[in-house]
């Protein structure tokens, strides 16, 4: 293990977990939960770049998920695009929008940035929810099938939909994680992290602060958009909830709970918070109480997030 | 490879323990995903309570043909993606023979593909007409459609000679869908929509919208598609502004708590609703009388809260399902589906249900009664 | 003209509630730099406790006072068990803690109370008062009056009393405050109690108008937070102006432009203001800690 970089370790661990997990799946329902973990994990990986590397906050990122999701719902119907191109189109729109609003918004600090991104997310949600002639309104709309299963079938491979999505989303997540980890070690990553520690210090050593913040914002928007597209295509259905405030908060919570500074941590956070509600159903009416308590306890006692805090504790004990 | 084999045997062990923990296989497992919390909890809460009550009741009587009924119920909080996940879980993991649920149209539509793909009968409790039109093989629903509610209101308006209508609707799925149906139906009944305003689900004051509507020359009536707190506030604001035209609410407020919340302002408000609300006032000759009085008394005794038509939708869904299982004499999803589709003359809280391969709801306009609130109680408009 | 006045009445009623929630945000923020996203739950607790106490036979005024006391106690407990142990954690961490607290409180409310809508009688009846062709409910006047009294009382408290000045000193510089002998722990406890109590009072005042249920907190917290940021975080006067302004923008947009996009209008104005004045209308310039 000595000659393996942290990046390689993270990726290998992810690959191992993805490959081994299905051995424990008692039913194909678990493939769906796994897929949801990966899709959330992708959006959250984007937030690691924004929150963990660049130290900025966003309470509106679900808005970009919404753009990605509705691109996949609308572009095939209105523009005749195949779903894969629709996903790319969504990512381009999200990135461009993030670039446009990012400049003025990212001048704000702390809670002011939080409220501005919150407002931005709510605006996207309102458009998706109110323009029912286009989006089907709050009740949502159907999304065209990706067609991948049919394609595989035509060459003689038959895969259940749940499994196909598990492997497909895992692949996209690995790709996203690898890119994020590359960014971490690149000079851009170093610039971003210097920004996180101290914006003023970063500026004095010649980092173009505004440029790098904007870059982190755009990249994280594209991650969120792709995750929204995947969710829409898997569900073959989309509703404005995906762009809602609660989803934005969920994404930030996943990031911070798992550990905003680490890709592996944040994906762990996404996995835990995706699986948790399924586990909590045994508490029936007490679901919310337990969920709230867990969130508070983790953040109070492991404030850097689950994974980084645990690693720190473990290594301290070791020596 | 030893590592892998060990893993596999562990997995098998886990699976066996999991199986052992499951109750006896003879039980009939029925699944439900309802919005017990979230923006539609006003609807989902009485639905969930009704199902729990009915399952206890039926098991106390020895179950369906001697087999106990097990209810697996999840709270999707009104979120479409959650509903989809729970539907998958019900089908794949819990292996239920039928699903009741989808409190809202959004959650229902997210669950539909799961039921269709897994070939499991699915009875929705949501309003919109898109759920059953076009007909989907495995999907049924019990509540009247929003289209029918509009038709009933427009019929009543036409009878009173009122045609210039102001709309004020919430921005939730139920309200927006009904608003759309009303806009579509209006020309058929010779109605002219002269104002079209909306409000958010948690808004506290609707006087600006109502002032605007009241300002339209020649306004003859106002219709408010909505559920939850919105309609109560609209009704109070309507009286505050002293607007002198009739106010119509939708079937979304069909619960006694609406009268309590709106107070005196509710006097004179009309709405289309199921017979359940006027159980006492039905003539003894009414075929629905026994059913609605029975359900109302049982629900109010079990929960201590006033009955609503939403719980009634769950009652109807459960009863239709149970009768279908009894008729089928088997708990096979295919057999259950076929029998649900053959439901004829089922007398429920929502009306008399006659399903067919072309009609997966089986209610007609006669199932709706036009009610008016007088002296703090519902009365049937003749 | 009477239309405009009607819109203004509506905006002031709703705005007064936003202002009270924003004030709650501000008080806690000043004492501890914490943005408390469970602020909306205090409004819910105030309203729901009053409903259930009065249903249990407690006379309404006593029920209302009891509800405020209970909510204040919840505020103190929140500080003691969730905020204090996490002292010095990062901004996002504390935001997540308060969001967790709000989910927790909502979960408790749906068990202790129920999931139905509730309301109690208006304090002075429901007969609308007509002014220049527009109408206002007596309860709206109670809300606006109640908010004014709270603001006046707080003004006196912060400027005339030693404890109030200690709170302001703590807000300005916690270390310095501690050095001159101010018990900053007590100040934090006090702030949470005060902020929760104000939220509860808002809940008691508006329930006859807006109705209440276990889940009204999120929407109120969002609007209150937005109002506080619009006015400038940390400034009680900013909270007042931000809240009223938000209410007025919504009412006027609904009346004159589009009711569908009235919430959007509010957020567009907030974004526009923040682009020009990054610390809100009356906020202190953000301090950069190096």
Domain match, B129 and B239 both: no
Based on the fold, state whether residues B166 and B243 are members of the same structural domain.
yes
Question: What was the pLDDT predicted at A151?
Answer: 87
Do B263 and B359 fall within a single domain? no
Instruction: Point out the domain boundary residue: B240, B273, B306.
Output: B273
Residues 264-283 of C with CB under 8 A from A: 264, 267-268, 270-271, 274-275, 278-280
Q: How many other CB atoms sit within 10 Å of the CB of residue B48?
A: 26
Interface test with A, best of B20, B103, B110, B252 (most A CBs within 10 A): B110
**Domains contained in chain B, number:** 2
**Residues of chain A positioned with their CB less than 8 A from the CB of B89:** 29, 32, 278
**Residue of A140, A239, A281 with shortest CB distance to B74:** A281
Instruction: Give the neighbours of chain A: at least 3 Cβ pairs within 8 Å.
Output: B, C
What is the percent of chain A where pLDDT is above 90?
Answer: 65
Closest in B38, B204, B212 to C14, CB measured:
B204
Asked if the C-beta of C249 comes within 8 angstroms of chain A's C-beta atoms, the answer is: no
CB A52 within 8 A of CB A45: no
Rounded to whole angstroms, what are the CA distances from B163 to B169, B194, B242?
Answer: 18, 10, 20
- Both B217 and B112 in a single domain? no
Residue of chain B minimizing CA distance to C136? B240
Inter-chain contact C261–A107, Cβ cutoff 8 Å? no
What pLDDT, on a 0 to 100 scale, did the predictor assign at position B21?
44
Residues B360, B323 share a domain: yes
Residue A312 banded pLDDT, cuts 50, 70, 90: confident
What residue has token string 């971003």? A192
pLDDT the model gives residue A169: 96
Q: Which residue of C has its CA nearest to B37?
A: C115
Instruction: Note whether B161 and B44 are same-domain residues.
Output: no
Mutate to test the interface with C, among B49, B211, B231, B252 (most CBs of C within 10 A): B211
A-chain residues near B91 (CB < 8 A): 29
B317 and B266 part of one domain: no
Instruction: Judge whether C260 is closer than 8 Å to chain A, CB to CB.
Output: yes
Q: Do C96 and A245 touch (CB under 8 A)?
A: no
Query: In the prediction, which pLDDT does A47 show?
Result: 96
- Cβ of C90 within 8 Å of Cβ of A110? The answer is no
Q: Which residues of B touch C260 (CB under 8 A)?
A: 171, 198
CA–CA min distance B225, chain A (Å): 15
**CB spacing of A115 vs C108 below 8 angstroms:** no
pLDDT tens string B339-364: 999 999 999 999 999 999 999 999 98
Q: What is the dihedral of CA C100, C102, C108, C114, to 10 degrees?
A: -140
Neighbour subunits, C (≥3 Cβ pairs < 8 A): A, B
Cα gap B351→B182, rounded to integer Å: 22
Q: Does B110 contact A28 at a Cβ distance shorter than 8 Å?
A: no
Both tokens of B62, joined, read: 């020895």
Which of A23, A129, A288 has its CB closest to that of B7? A23
**In a domain? residue B311:** yes
Q: What residue ranges of chain B have pLDDT lower than 70?
A: 1-26
**Residue, of C172 and A256, whose pLDDT is higher:** A256
**Token pair belonging to B91:** 């089908």
Contacts of A319 (CB under 8 A, 6+ apart): none
CATH number of the structural domain spanning residue B210: 3.40.50.2300
Domain boundaries, chain C: 1-276
Q: How confident is the model at residue A187 (pLDDT cuts 50, 70, 90)?
A: confident
Please identify among residues 55-114 of chain C the ones whose CB lies closer than 8 Å to any CB of chain A. Answer: 82, 85-86, 89-97, 99-108, 110-111
Which pLDDT score, from 0 to 100, does residue A32 have?
95
Closest approach of C3 to chain A, Cα-based (Å): 26
Please name the CATH architecture into which domain C1-276 falls: Orthogonal Bundle (1.10)
Please report residues of B whose CB lies closer than 8 A to that of A20.
7
How far is CA B21 from each of CA A244, C21, C83, rounded to the nearest angstrom?
Answer: 38, 49, 41
Residue in B with minimal Cα distance to C140? B205
Tens place of pLDDT for every residue, chain C, 290 residues? 689 999 999 999 999 999 999 999 999 998 888 899 999 999 999 999 999 999 999 999 999 999 999 999 999 999 999 999 988 888 888 989 999 999 999 999 999 998 889 999 999 998 999 999 899 999 999 999 999 999 999 989 988 999 988 888 888 888 888 888 888 889 999 999 999 999 999 999 999 999 999 999 999 999 999 999 999 988 889 999 999 999 999 999 999 998 888 989 989 999 999 999 988 898 765 444 33
Contact: C254, B209; criterion CB under 8 Å: yes
A231: which chain B residues are within 8 Å (Cβ-Cβ)? 81
User: Taking 50 as the threshold, does the pLDDT of residue A50 lie above it?
Assistant: yes
DSSP class of residue B124 equals E
Q: Cα dist. C266→A118, B172, C40, C243, C248 in Å?
A: 12, 19, 19, 11, 9
pLDDT in tens, A133-160: 899 899 899 998 888 888 888 888 888 8
Residues 317-346 of B with CB under 8 A from C: none
Is some CB atom of chain C closer than 8 A to the CB atom of B257?
yes
Chain B residues with CB under 8 Å of A24 CB are 10-11, 14
**Predicted pLDDT of residue B26:** 60
- In this structure, the dihedral spanned by the alpha carbons of residues B367, B373, B375 and B381, taken in order and rounded to 10 degrees, is -50
pLDDT score for B20: 43
Q: Are A307 and A259 in contact (CB under 8 A)?
A: yes
Of A139, A277, A287, the CB nearest to B109: A139
Cβ-based neighbour number of residue A182 at 10 Å = 12
State whether B219 and B294 are in the same domain: no
| pTM of the model as a whole | 0.92
For residue A237, give the nearest of B4, B78, B109 by CB distance.
B109
Q: Which domain holds residue B166?
A: 147-273
Mean pLDDT of chain A: 91
CB contact under 8 A, C270 and A119: yes
What pLDDT was estimated at residue B202? 86
Mean pLDDT value across residues A127-136: 92
Q: Is the pLDDT of residue A2 over 60?
A: no
- Which residue in C13, C110, C117 is closest to B228 by CB distance? C117
* Rounded distance between C-alpha atoms, residue A111 and residue A58, angstroms: 10
The verdict on a CB contact (< 8 Å) between C106 and A288 is yes
Residue B17, Cβ density class (10 Å: 0-12 exposed, 13-18 middle, ≥19 buried)? exposed
- φ, ψ of residue B356 to 5 degrees: the values are -155, 170
Nearest to A119 among C106, C110, C226 (CB): C226
- Boundaries of every domain in chain A: 6-245
């Amino acid at each position: 293990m000595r000659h393996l970089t942290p990046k390689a370790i993270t990726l290998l661990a992810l690959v191992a977990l993805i490959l081994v997990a299905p051995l424990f799946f008692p039913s194909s329902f678990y493939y769906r939960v796994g897929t949801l973990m990966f899709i959330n994990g992708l959006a959250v990986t984007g937030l690691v770049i924004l929150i963990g590397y660049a130290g900025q906050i966003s309470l509106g990122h679900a808005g970009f998920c919404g753009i990605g999701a509705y691109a996949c719902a609308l572009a095939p119907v209105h523009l005749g695009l195949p779903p894969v191109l629709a996903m790319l189109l969504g990512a381009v729109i999200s990135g461009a929008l993030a670039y446009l609003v990012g400049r003025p918004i990212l001048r704000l600090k702390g809670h002011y940035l939080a409220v501005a991104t919150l407002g931005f997310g709510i605006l996207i949600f309102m458009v998706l929810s109110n323009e029912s002639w286009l989006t089907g309104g709050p009740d949502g709309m159907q999304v065209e099938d990706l067609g991948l299963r049919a394609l595989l079938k035509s060459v003689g491979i038959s895969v259940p939909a749940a499994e196909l999505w598990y492997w497909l989303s895992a692949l996209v997540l690995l790709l996203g994680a690898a890119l994020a980890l590359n960014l971490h070690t690149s000079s851009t990553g170093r610039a971003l992290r210097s920004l996180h520690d101290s914006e003023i210090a970063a500026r004095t050593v010649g980092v173009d602060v505004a440029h790098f913040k904007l870059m982190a914002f755009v990249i994280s928007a594209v991650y969120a958009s792709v995750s929204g597209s995947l969710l829409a295509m898997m569900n073959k259905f989309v509703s404005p909830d995906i762009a809602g405030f609660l989803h934005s908060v969920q994404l930030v919570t996943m990031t911070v709970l798992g550990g905003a500074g680490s890709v592996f941590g944040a994906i762990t956070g996404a996995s835990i918070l995706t699986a948790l509600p399924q586990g909590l159903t045994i508490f029936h009416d007490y679901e919310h109480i337990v969920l709230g308590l867990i969130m508070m306890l983790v953040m109070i006692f492991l404030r850097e997030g689950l994974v980084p805090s645990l690693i720190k504790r473990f290594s301290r004990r070791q020596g | 490879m030893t590592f892998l084999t060990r893993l596999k045997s562990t997995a098998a062990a886990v699976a066996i323990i999991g199986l052992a923990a499951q109750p006896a296989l003879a039980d009939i497992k029925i699944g439900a995903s309802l919005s017990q919390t979230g923006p539609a909890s006003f609807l989902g809460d009485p639905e969930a309570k009704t199902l729990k009550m009915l399952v206890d009741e039926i098991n106390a009587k020895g179950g369906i043909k001697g087999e106990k009924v097990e209810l697996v119920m999840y709270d999707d909080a009104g979120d479409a993606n959650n509903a989809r996940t729970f539907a998958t879980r019900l089908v794949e993991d819990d292996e239920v023979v039928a699903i009741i649920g989808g409190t809202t149209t959004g959650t229902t539509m997210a669950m539909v593909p799961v039921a269709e793909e897994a070939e499991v009968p699915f009875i929705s409790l949501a309003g919109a007409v898109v759920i059953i039109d076009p007909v989907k093989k495995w999907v049924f629903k019990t509540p009247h459609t929003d289209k029918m509610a509009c038709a009933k209101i427009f019929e009543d308006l036409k009878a009173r000679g009122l045609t210039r209508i102001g709309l004020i609707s919430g921005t939730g799925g139920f309200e927006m869908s009904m608003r759309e149906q009303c806009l579509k139906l209006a020309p058929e009944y010779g109605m002219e929509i002269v104002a079209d305003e909306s409000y958010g689900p948690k808004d506290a004051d609707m006087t600006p919208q109502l002032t605007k509507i009241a300002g339209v020359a020649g306004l003859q009536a106002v219709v408010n598609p909505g559920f939850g707190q919105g309609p109560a506030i609209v009704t109070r604001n309507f009286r505050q502004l002293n607007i002198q035209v009739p106010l119509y609410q939708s079937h979304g407020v069909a619960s006694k708590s609406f009268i309590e919340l709106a107070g005196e302002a509710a006097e004179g408000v009309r709405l289309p609703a199921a017979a359940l609300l006027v159980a006492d006032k039905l003539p003894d000759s009414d075929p629905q009388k026994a059913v609605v009085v029975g359900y109302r008394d049982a629900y109010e005794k079990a929960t201590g809260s006033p009955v609503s038509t939403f719980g009634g939708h769950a009652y109807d869904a459960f009863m239709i399902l149970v009768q279908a299982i009894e008729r089928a004499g088997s708990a096979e999803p295919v057999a259950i589906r076929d029998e649900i589709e053959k439901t004829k003359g089922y007398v429920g809280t929502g009306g008399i249900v006659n399903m067919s391969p072309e009609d997966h709801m089986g209610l007609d306009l006669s199932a709706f009664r036009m009610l008016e609130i007088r002296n703090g109680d519902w009365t049937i408009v003749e | 003209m009477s239309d405009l006045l009607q819109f203004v009445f509506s905006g002031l009623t709703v705005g007064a509630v936003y202002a009270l929630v924003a004030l709650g945000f501000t008080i806690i923020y000043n004492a501890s730099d914490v943005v408390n996203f469970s602020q909306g739950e205090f409004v819910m607790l105030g309203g729901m406790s009053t409903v259930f106490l009065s249903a249990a036979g407690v006379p309404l005024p006593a029920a209302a006072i009891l509800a405020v006391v209970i909510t204040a106690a919840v505020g103190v407990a929140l500080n003691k068990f969730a905020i204090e142990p996490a002292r010095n954690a990062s901004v996002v961490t504390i935001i997540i803690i308060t969001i967790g607290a709000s989910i927790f409180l909502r979960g408790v409310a749906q068990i202790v109370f129920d999931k139905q809508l509730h309301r109690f009688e208006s304090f002075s009846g429901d007969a609308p008062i007509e002014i220049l062709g527009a109408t206002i409910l007596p309860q709206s006047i109670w809300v606006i009056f109640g908010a004014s009294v709270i603001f006046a009382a707080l003004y006196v408290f912060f400027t005339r009393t030693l404890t109030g000045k200690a709170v302001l000193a703590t807000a300005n510089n916690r270390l310095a405050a501690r050095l001159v002998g101010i018990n900053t722990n007590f100040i934090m406890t006090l702030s949470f109690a005060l902020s929760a109590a104000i939220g509860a009072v808002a809940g008691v005042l508006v329930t006859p108008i807006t109705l209440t249920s276990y889940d009204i907190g999120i929407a109120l917290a969002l609007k209150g937070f937005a109002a506080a940021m619009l006015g400038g975080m940390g400034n009680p006067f900013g909270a007042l102006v931000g809240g009223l302004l938000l209410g007025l923008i919504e009412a006027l947009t609904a009346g004159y432009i589009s009711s569908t996009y009235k919430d959007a209008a509010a957020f567009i104005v907030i974004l526009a203001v923040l682009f020009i004045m990054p610390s809100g209308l009356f906020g202190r310039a953000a301090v950069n800690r190096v």
